[in-house]
Amino acid sequence: MKLNIYCLIMKIIIFNCIVYVDASEYKIWGPGLKPEIVMPARYFFIESIPNCDTNLLELIDLDIKIEGSKIDSNKPCRIWTNILNRNDGSYIVRYKLYEPCINVKIDIKVRGENIKGFPLTFKYIMFSEDCNCNIHNVSSFINNWECGETQTQIKEDLHLFKGIDFGKIRKRIVSTYDNPGAVSLCNYVIKNNLIYRKCYGQHVGFKMFMDNILLSLTRKVLLPDFEMFVNLGDWPLVKDTNEIFPIFSWCGSKDSFDIVMPTYDITESTLESMGRVMLDMLSVQGNVRDKWENRHPKIFWRGRDSSRERLKLIEISRQYPDLFNVSLTNFFFFRNEMEKYGPTSKHVSFYDFFDYKYQINLDGTVAAYRFPYLLAGGSLVFKQDSKYYEFFYNNLKSNMHYIPIKQDLSDLIEKIKWAVENDEEAKTIGMHGRDFANDNLLPKNIFCYHVQLFNEYSKKVTSTVEIVEGMEMVKSSRREKCNCNYNMKDEL
């Protein structure tokens, strides 16, 4: 009631054309406002605090300019700015530096007026992702980036290991898992912030993902020396039928002991955002076309036939066509059942998923790596129970951030019907899912997780860290764009 009166007063003021632009109406925050935080694409959020529905910030009201100068001349440096509209009065601003810049100015105007606190100008050099000119130690990195406490998942994964002595276990790890064709494993050494590796197995192309994140990290932070083994395959490796070795994997499971890292998928989308990769945790939010109320109350799903339950989903959907728009996109594992579960449908953009209120996350061969993007889209996610997990599942709460469904999907219909009948609650859970994604799964979080994980892990390694025979050095394939020989007097 109070709010309505307030809105009425606001409307009168607006009606009389007295519109005040006040900083208190906007919340602006994010790592992109801190110049020392170097990312492939820096980002921050602008949210208007709505007093009433009519008061939401429109893109046409906003004028955002980010510019700076080259370091050795007064010419403008190359910055690309990208504004993502979340269609709810909030925006994500991303900008990518293609070279080091100085005097970077972030200017935000609303209806021609500067927002309080802006323009914001950074006097000292801002480095681009390709530079390794300003490397922090781990503690100052964690501090600057506001990484917070070490994640519970990291603690749980590492607590099994007391003192890791590679002098004793390296050969045994290799002989236990060296099974070319079935297992692909790389042995990495980080020493003096340089990266070395040796891989075992036939299909080691995915080492590229591990190389890329390590290279990006060593441009930003002085990593401690350590040695590790990375599993490049889908399935976690370390079962208690063998000795429990420390092996890093992208997917964990309740019946294995692998140390989990953010998946290569979300990590690569972090490193290549505003670059090679179209779909990332921020772009997905800026390409959602409609707010909750206008989305279709159906489950939308596309994917390949990589588990029996995916076929079962198709079967269930045929009994309840009003509740589903689902189909398989290709057959590989169950080709002989194509007739029953086909036809396949053609590829749709991931952004189209969010024309629908409900999403479903079904395991494929392991955990489905699309889960972070599903959460970010703000629809309600139904998640199949599974023994597989990713690095962030530990922080997720069922029925708060998503709706759990039984592994065999037997309660799926009942749960969708609940969502249809309880639209407000369904919407709230969808919003909590998106908030979770923004608090835990953005580029900042992905970098922080890796740094904290490798830092904590390195404390467990007791053997001296030496380059192992047969290792090659991992070098950046990018052209070095910085020579770092700036006059740093003006710097911080």
325-362 b/e (C-beta count within 10 Å ≥ 16 → b): bbbbeebeebeeeeeebeeeeeeeebbebbbbbbbbbb
Shortest distance (Å) from residue 340 CB to ligand NAG:
20
Instruction: Please select the residue that binds ligand NAG; options are 140, 152, 179, 464, rule is CB under 6 A.
Output: 140
Interface with ligand NAG by CB under 6 A: which range of 132-140, 153-161, 394-402, 472-480? 132-140
Interface with ligand NAG by CB under 6 A: which range of 37-45, 127-135, 136-144, 458-466? 136-144
Shortest distance (Å) from residue 352 CB to ligand NAG:
5
Shortest distance (Å) from residue 332 CB to ligand NAG:
22
Site string for ligand NAG, 230-259 (x = CB under 6 A): ------------------------------
CB 72, CB 125: distance < 8 Å? no
Helix residue ranges per DSSP H, 441-491: 443-458
Shortest distance (Å) from residue 140 CB to ligand NAG:
4
Residues numbered 143 to 162 that lie near ligand NAG (CB under 6 A) are: none
Task: Examine residue 348 and tell whether it contacts ligand NAG (CB under 6 A).
Answer: yes
Task: Examine residue 325 and tell whether it contacts ligand NAG (CB under 6 A).
Answer: yes
* Closer residue to ligand NAG, CB minimum distance, 48 or 325: 325
Q: At what angle do helices 308-319 and 412-421 cross, to 10 degrees?
A: 50
CA-closest candidate to residue 358, choices 319, 335, 326: 326
DSSP string over 327-376:
EEEE-SS-GGGHHHH--------GGGGGGEEEEEE--SSSS-TTHHHHHH
Query: Residue 9: what residue type?
Result: I
Shortest distance (Å) from residue 346 CB to ligand NAG:
9
Task: Examine residue 414 and tell whether it contacts ligand NAG (CB under 6 A).
Answer: no
Q: What is the maximal distance between C-alpha atoms in the chain? A: 79
Shortest distance (Å) from residue 452 CB to ligand NAG:
15
Interface with ligand NAG by CB under 6 A: which range of 6-14, 135-143, 147-155, 164-172? 135-143
* Closer residue to ligand NAG, CB minimum distance, 139 or 399: 139
Instruction: Please select the residue that binds ligand NAG; options are 22, 49, 123, 139, rule is CB under 6 A.
Output: 139
16 burial (CB, 10 Å; 0-12 / 13-18 / 19+) is exposed
Q: Long-range contact list for 44-47, CB < 8 A, 24+ apart? A: 44/92, 44/93, 45/90, 45/91, 45/92, 45/93, 46/90, 46/91, 46/92, 46/93, 46/108, 47/89, 47/90, 47/91
Shortest distance (Å) from residue 325 CB to ligand NAG:
4
Cα dihedral 276, 373, 318, 339 in deg (nearest 10): 30
Interface with ligand NAG by CB under 6 A: which range of 46-54, 77-85, 134-142, 408-416? 134-142
Task: Examine residue 137 and tell whether it contacts ligand NAG (CB under 6 A).
Answer: yes
DSSP string over 159-181:
TT-S-B-HHHHHHHHHHHH--TT
Site string for ligand NAG, 283-322 (x = CB under 6 A): ----------------------------------------
Q: Which positions lie near ligand NAG, rule CB under 6 A?
A: 137, 139-140, 325, 348, 352
